[in-house]
Structure 1
């Protein structure tokens, strides 16, 4: 048993009236001890559930992010004039709507915008569809690649994926606790914020609840992260919905702007594509990248329009949607998919 970790546990788990939040340094040390297995399984499970009940503070999340930056996967900067867009979506996957972030990433990469995604396998407690399964169904295997290969893919193909079990096994070792405690621990919020990339970047963090966005913004400020976007997307992901208004926060330097976007304003219906198995979604993607009309293609165009605009490739979203359609019609997005399948 770790006596040092027991003090952290006593601090956060003392109850409604006497529990206290950890300092940033304490949260970092507690996270390191959990990742390295220096805390016992009983201590780790107790900490996760106590911390969830107490609710993490922005300072604690900043400390946890310190630990992930110290021990996590690290991709060196690439030689590129544009910011890398790092997509932070929930690791526990999707159970209602079909992900479009993979297809969006392929179109962005075809336009020369580098994109980095990260995630794992099916994750408790939701056990939703993970992105890695769809990549595999598309014929792209990120599971066995070395970090150097991921860097090469990001630099040459403008697209890469960090796979938690292979590239950050310390974090993967904490996954079984999620099933055992039956609740999302604060690490689920941390994954929306964490970036494995070390160069010039813009972090895109999905969220569901407004307090989560506040914590993300405040923790980023503590880390000096000033280029980021928060998206209240499908099921907490970075995918913009068409069936409802999207609440977005855009931070550049010391300026934060709130943006409210509705797909109907840009001529799209309110129909979001429903979840399906990985092979079916892979078929949706390849069909859409061939330019064949579908509601799934419309969701790709809607999302690409937003992210092209964020990346500065268009002065407004309407223009960006047209540009995304041109990338697809010219076969560049399908070519990008084929290049990744061969690499």
Structure 2
């Protein structure tokens, strides 16, 4: 009988007066037990739901991330980490993919990674990737990124974390695994950009990143929970600069009141490739792309005029 996780469940579940959060070290030990397959499924469920009830801490998130990096390290280099784990049911086309592509075109290797962003039947991230020439990586030992960009599926990088994330289908509840994956940064890139749907998670991810020694990070409440700036709204930014907590604001770029999901039911994913190739015009979509890329460049510490970079881009796309 697998009982290795029992001491950690006990820490969380001893009652109102005796229970407490796990320390950084305890959280790492607990998640390593889970990822090595040494924990009973009942204990895993109990741990995750007890954490949901009390609210996870930055130390617990950081400990789980350390465990994931230890048990399933990625091999390869990226300058910018770009997680994509939002379900996407409240957004339109994933214009942020073109933002990531633009950053990569400037010579900054971008590693995207994700899972449930494929669930939107109209604006699927995974369906869009080959249309705009972003390769899907087949191994966590990815080495150099072709074209300075690649998408690493969670089920390829860590089947164990993938199974934990899919427990949402069992619980019908979100768990802290969603936050862990956003902070994970599997290639240990110096800079990371992260989206959230619920604003309180901005500070949680910021604090976890600081504990993990993340050098630069920007977190925003983005379209459908992705790292994607709404150009018609002022964006509150949280993160790290030089490893220390940082906050900022990005002013609205356009004077329009448009929902990102507006018209999503009739959206054509081919518009992504069309906008990049210059064959499709959508000023609001372009402002999403450039505004999102601008914050990504700021996170990297790169002084780039995104308008000039867009104008000079290589418009050719080789579908994959």
Structure 2-normalised TM-score? 0.87
Alignment of 1:250-329 (within 5 A): 250-263=239-252, 266-267=253-254, 269-274=256-261, 280=267, 282-291=269-278, 292-294=280-282, 295-314=284-303, 320-328=305-313
Q: What is the alpha-carbon root mean square deviation over aligned residues?
A: 2.9
Give secondary structure in 2 for the equivalent of 1:173.
helix
Structure 2 partner of 1:132:
126
Conserved 8 A contact 2:101-2:149: yes
Alignment of 1:113-132 (within 5 A): 113-121=108-116, 131-132=125-126
Conserved 8 A contact 2:23-2:59: yes
Conserved 8 A contact 1:119-1:130: no
Q: Deviation per CA, 1:225-247: give whole Å up to 9, x if none.
A: 22222222223321111243211
Conserved 8 A contact 2:74-2:186: yes
Alignment of 1:68-147 (within 5 A): 68-77=68-77, 84-89=79-84, 91-98=85-92, 99-121=94-116, 131-136=125-130, 138=132, 142=136, 145-147=138-140
Conserved 8 A contact 2:24-2:63: yes
Structure 2 partner of 1:81:
none
> What is the rounded CA distance, in whole Å, between the counterparts of 1:52 and 1:123 in structure 2?
25
Shift of 1:115: 1.1
Length, aligned pairs only: 317
Q: Which has the higher helix share?
A: 1
Shift of 1:66: 0.8
Structure 1, unpaired ranges of 5+ = 79-83
Shift in alpha-carbon separation, 1:136–1:77, aligned structure 2, 3 A: closer
Structure 1 partner of 2:143:
151
> What is the rounded CA distance, in whole Å, between the counterparts of 2:165 and 2:203 in structure 1?
25
Q: Deviation per CA, 1:53-111: give whole Å up to 9, x if none.
A: 11111111111111111123413336xxxxx111133x242111122221111122222
Shift in alpha-carbon separation, 1:61–1:130, aligned structure 2, 3 A: farther
Q: Deviation per CA, 1:265-314: give whole Å up to 9, x if none.
A: x3453324427789955312111112232132232122223333443443
Greater CA deviation, 267-276 or 222-231? 267-276
Conserved 8 A contact 1:96-1:275: no
Structure 1 partner of 2:207:
218
Give secondary structure in 2 for the equivalent of 1:157.
helix
Structure 2, unpaired ranges of 5+ = none
Greater CA deviation, 300-309 or 182-191? 300-309
Work out whether 1:197 is the aligned partner of 2:191.
no
Structure 2 partner of 1:177:
167
